Amino acid sequence: MANIRSSYTGGVNFFGGNDPLELIRQYGSPLYVYNEEMLRRRSGEMRDLVKLPSFKACYSAKANANPHLLRIVRSEGLLVDSMSLGELLMTRAAGFESDEILFVCNNVSAEEFKQAQASSRVVSVDSLSQLELFGKNVPAGSRVMVRVNPGIGAGHHKKVVTAGKETKFGVNVEDLPRAVELCEKYKLQLFGINQHIGSLFMEPDKFLAAAARLLEIVEPFKELEIIDFGGGYGIPYHKYENEARLDLADLGQRFAAMLEEFTAKTGYRGRFVIEPGRYVPAESGVLLGSVTAVKNNGPVRFVCTDVGFNILPRPMLYDSFHDVEIYRQGNPAPDSRTMPQTLVGNICESGDILARDRELPEVQEGDVLGFLDAGAYCFAMSSNYNQRVRPAEILIDRAGKVKLIRRREVPEDLIAMVTPLD
């Protein structure tokens, strides 16, 4: 199938033989499309990153919590971590048992602690005061993990760096002895120590440095069942520039060597856990949208679409780059001539920009665009801003069959929570 710019999805058979324009006609625009084969492949890569029986990958549900996708991730052997009661609901709906769920939360209430403790294997607390609150509200003997702030962070944008002195996360290393005292006071089992230093590493080094640091930090603590290194594995968003992938073979080997050395040195008998979020579903999602207008304002050619930042928030939030494909009726031949174009959505804010001065073949009204790598932190962060409805989500299975996994919202959904006007 030829089309204006579609060689990436064509190469991986993303749409499984389905025509993106036909999918839009059937399920409405915009539309989130997921590919089961890709989701399984990435899940497997995380499961097998380190080939030690003590190693477990735990998918971080906040990246994408659709239970249909979670069920696939579970069937590939991943555990899951949830951050809220809503995510717990989704993970339980997908079939995760309580002993397959870690609750890694941040600044929650007593009520949330009580409910989470009842349906997850272990709850992680993020500060000494949260540890006290947890202790006061759960039965003696409950398990707890303490999230440590190792003092180093990393990430693709300052909004996603989640460790280091200036972030809100974790208990400082110096305060860990106090955390142990609090566990004794409330008769909690200190089950694990976890960290998560940030998102989107494309090189193993920073992750491995932080992992080595965590192993130093946990060494004095005996009887831990979980040492959890967090997530952050990046994916190549610049598909059309052949951006290199994170070298998992190198990362996996060096990480395994580090874990084996630690085990040999300390006699540790618990589990080593990672919490990849983005890596698992990001590349299994493409967001389709429609071009509703094209215009020139001064020197800028604007391509106007129905994909507002309420539907795809990452470019506005983090200046993120999503590569873009172009599909046109009649399957015309690919077009390699490009011009700078600025892609915008339908939200009434000038910051509603999906891509600025992007070199693309000339886009026309009526074209369908595909925003690549939209499986993580895209639908999950969408909103009803401007009182626009959220799109449907569909899944393409390994035989190319399409399944609706979330219906498109309707205007009645928007008003459903409003109490009657009297």
Ligand X SMILES: *Cc1c(COP(=O)(O)O)cnc(C)c1O
Site for ligand X (CB under 6 A): which residue of 230, 289, 308, 313?
230
- Whether omega before 30 lies within 30 degrees of 0, making that bond cis, reads yes
Residue number, 63 or 304, with CB nearest to ligand X: 63
Site for ligand X (CB under 6 A): which residue of 232, 308, 345, 391?
232
| Separation of alpha carbons 231 and 119, rounded Å | 22
The least CB distance from residue 353 to ligand X, in Å, is 23
From 390, 293, 311, select the one nearest 352 (Cα to Cα): 311
Told to check if 104 binds ligand X by CB under 6 A, we report yes
Site for ligand X (CB under 6 A): which residue of 6, 9, 35, 60?
60
Site for ligand X (CB under 6 A): which residue of 20, 150, 170, 231?
231
Contact 340, 358 (CB under 8 A): yes
Residue number, 196 or 213, with CB nearest to ligand X: 196
Distances (CA, A) of 358 to 15, 22, 119: 24, 26, 46
Site for ligand X (CB under 6 A): which residue of 5, 47, 56, 62?
62
Residue number, 199 or 290, with CB nearest to ligand X: 199
Site string for ligand X, 183-222 (x = CB under 6 A): -------------x--x-----------------------
| Separation of alpha carbons 162 and 152, rounded Å | 9
From 24, 20, 25, 31, select the one nearest 389 (Cα to Cα): 31
Told to check if 374 binds ligand X by CB under 6 A, we report no
The least CB distance from residue 210 to ligand X, in Å, is 12
The least CB distance from residue 233 to ligand X, in Å, is 6
The least CB distance from residue 147 to ligand X, in Å, is 7
Told to check if 50 binds ligand X by CB under 6 A, we report no
The least CB distance from residue 383 to ligand X, in Å, is 18
Positions 253 through 282 that interact with ligand X (CB under 6 A): 275-279
Largest Cα–Cα separation, the chain: 71
Token pair for residue 8?
A: 């990436």
Residue number, 120 or 290, with CB nearest to ligand X: 120
Which listed range, 58-66, 178-186, 244-252, 379-387, lies at the site for ligand X (CB under 6 A)? 58-66
| Separation of alpha carbons 396 and 284, rounded Å | 10
Q: Which of 58, 183, 304, 348 is catalytic?
A: 348
* Active site (annotated) includes residue 304: no
Site for ligand X (CB under 6 A): which residue of 63, 78, 138, 208?
63
Which listed range, 36-44, 59-67, 202-210, 410-418, lies at the site for ligand X (CB under 6 A)? 59-67
Site for ligand X (CB under 6 A): which residue of 32, 34, 96, 233?
233
The least CB distance from residue 360 to ligand X, in Å, is 28
The least CB distance from residue 413 to ligand X, in Å, is 27
Residue number, 200 or 307, with CB nearest to ligand X: 200
Which residue shows structure tokens 């073949």? 361
The residue ranges that bind ligand X (CB under 6 A) are 60, 62-63, 104, 196, 199, 230-233, 275-279
Q: Would you name the residues annotated as active-site residues?
A: 348
